[in-house]
Structure 1
């Protein structure tokens, strides 16, 4: 190890805590960029979950969106795993308590996958690239003048810099908080389930994600995503739980969208098992410092409503790697380069939060119905809603288009006609 906080040099060592897409992307980018610079470095990933045997899961709806295929190909030299596809997403169907609006895909479609298979694919890519993977959890971290000591469940690891790719794992966040000024992002709870309605029912359901914005104050949003032979259902809110999911599934508007729900368990005994996760709704505090940097969810570098979460994780992992190799591993290097590289995400967060609160309040007041009615006849508003739901465009642009005078006038007319 070295006392230098400059760009990582020959013999440098990096430990990445978390082997999800962001952590693996960071590892692959470090190795690829170091080779281009003529440096030999050692990268080690710590991941306690077993994805290849499907023993563990990262809770996620599993929709991979552009520009992820281009990022994998051009930044990591990795072909996008189209063979894992459970179907292309051809658009969204937006539901309020009183209206339904179809939003067809604009441009390159998203791909639905089983998230566990994509995670296994990424880890296998790291293995094939001869990146060290230790199947253990980190339990503590110490920072010293000449390096970092990462304690794990089996072996201690010394390194020059540590990358936090652990999502919202409370244990990892706690030991970083003890050693640094890091504080994890605020978060929403997410509850996920799935069921197999049968081949004919899946064909009839179609290649659309159904997004729900209910007036129910317990649920900020819900979604039903087709994945080949099954439907994945997720809801999010500050305190959603298993009873909240059961209430969502009992909603007549939701039941009208779910084919053969009464036959859940007929094709798979694990149908409607409920899983819980969480995702960020704010930026983390001190998500970088001397010899450490957080990426993806651990940094809170993700859009409101968790749009493009995997893409954001991969992108921030690549950006962290570039900073480590080109600028350095000090707090000032991460502030000047890594934070600046992520301005597209950070500067859009306030607009995303404003959009989130506006949507919640309109839903509670049952005022989203006239918005959807106005969008049927207003292409600008319809495009804005599509970008908001799909995460294809920044929220600043979404709000700008939504607040154009002719759009506002159209929505007001619909409200007055209620």
Structure 2
């Protein structure tokens, strides 16, 4: 490389305008102003969040400390006006038993992710950061710059931030040019439907979480979202048939009012959407003149989720490394990787807990855990933290 630092007035191109990319852009702008430096920022985003032309497969339950994180590092107030309800209780279903879990801390916020993403990216625009509605189609890494080819005009940058989630096309660009290898991932199927309003009232404020015996489904959930319910399942190879079997199972069907005839009442109900989320760390997620954040890097707490919070955290940490320490692989290794050790160190623990929970649910051992939790407040809190993603 010809330079190890971002020059004053340097250009940062962020590929992806979701929470990871938006938080990185806002953190770069804010920190540069505090340091008395100039930085040019371009966010590339090909999706249209406004108007809800895009369906985000994330269930959209955001837990603490995200509101505090937005305020402290980005000077943003959390958009509570987007809330579809507060989640204070989780009902765990496993081995034929149910267990109600209540938290003592700030509730989670249920919302529509596409609306949250639209708000976040619009905030980036309002603060004067350039957002280009285009996808990256190729990259060139040179000693003195990075060339980002887009669907419109090419861009030259001093450093590129990858905030593209698990998008296979963009991931392939980084893999071809940098040796990046994406994280392992689980598949997810998501759907929703609108019960009659009076039948939704008893379901508000609580998520029903399921650990089915079917080894192909690792977990499932039913989440209230104002005027509708969102249902999701996850596993290595879940598909539409498994989702239908999940919906038809007696224990799930029992908590889904007015399921019959849902499509007749609302044309868009019970459409299935498929997505993926990471369950391991990516390889070579940083190098000279590039760094990846959030799902693209595999920086998400295994078993616990918190994908949006982790994306925001890693976006902020990437911005701090770029401005304070440099844009080389050595700088990212010494500072960005170190800043994310709370997530990286948690991955083996989270993966082990995930395997143990699946094994216990399949073999019936979880029955003893749930029975013990009924009279053990500490175990109840541990289970609540696990299913709610409140604990770090």
Q: Would the TM-score normalized by the shorter structure come out above 0.5?
A: yes
Shorter-chain TM band? over 0.9
Counterpart of 1:183 in structure 2 is 181
Following TM superposition, by how much is the alpha carbon of 1:213 offset from its aligned partner in structure 2, in angstroms?
A: 0.5
- RMSD of aligned residue pairs (Cα, Å): 1.1
Q: Name the TM-score, length of structure 1 as normaliser.
A: 0.92
The aligned counterpart of 1:123 is 121
Return the offset for 1:126.
0.5
Contact 2:220 2:231 in 1 (8 A): yes
Residue 234 of structure 1, aligned match among 232, 235, 247 = 232
* TM-score normalised by the chain length of structure 2: 0.98
Structure 1 residue matching 2:260: 3-state secondary structure = helix
Q: Determine the C-alpha separation between the residues in 1 that align with 2:185 and 2:362.
A: 21
Moved over 6 A (4+): none
Q: CA deviation at 1:269?
A: 1.2
Deviation per residue, 1:259-287 (Å, 9 max, x gap): 11113135421000000000001000011
Residue 293 (structure 2) aligned to one of 287, 292, 295: 295
| Partner Cα separation in structure 2 for residue 326 and residue 307 of structure 1 | 29
The corresponding residue for 1:215 is: 213
* Offset from partner CA, 1:175-229 (integer Å, 9 cap, x none): 1011012100000000000000021111121310111011101100001111000
Instruction: Name stretches of at least 5 consecutive residues in structure 2 with no aligned partner.
Output: none
Helix, strand or coil for the counterpart of 2:229? strand
Whether 1:41 and 2:39 are equivalent positions in the alignment is yes
What stretches of structure 1 of length at least 5 have no aligned partner? Answer: 395-418
Residue of structure 2 equivalent to 1:203? 201
Shift of 1:9: 3.0
For 1:3, the equivalent position in structure 2 comes to 2
The 2-side partners of 1:267 and 1:121 are apart by 30
Question: Which secondary structure state, in structure 1, belongs to the residue aligned with residue 357 of structure 2?
Answer: helix
Identify the residue that residue 401 of structure 1 maps to in structure 2. none
Map 1:8-23 → 2, pairs under 5 A: 8-23=6-21
Q: Deviations over 1:261-315 (max 9, x none)?
A: 1131354210000000000010000110011001000000001235211111011
Q: SS at the partner of 1:234?
A: strand
Q: Which residue of 1 aligns with 2:86?
A: 88
Give the whole-Å Cα distance in 1 for the aligned partners of 2:95 and 2:253: 13
Change (3 A) 1:42 1:64: same
TM-superposed CA distance for 1:72, in Å, is: 1.1
Aligned-pair CA distance for 1:79: 1.1
Aligned residue among 47, 50, 53 for 2:48: 50
- Report the number of matched residues: 392
Q: CA deviation at 1:347?
A: 0.3
Cα deviation 1:351-393 (Å, max 9, x = unaligned): 0000000011111112211111110011121111111111122
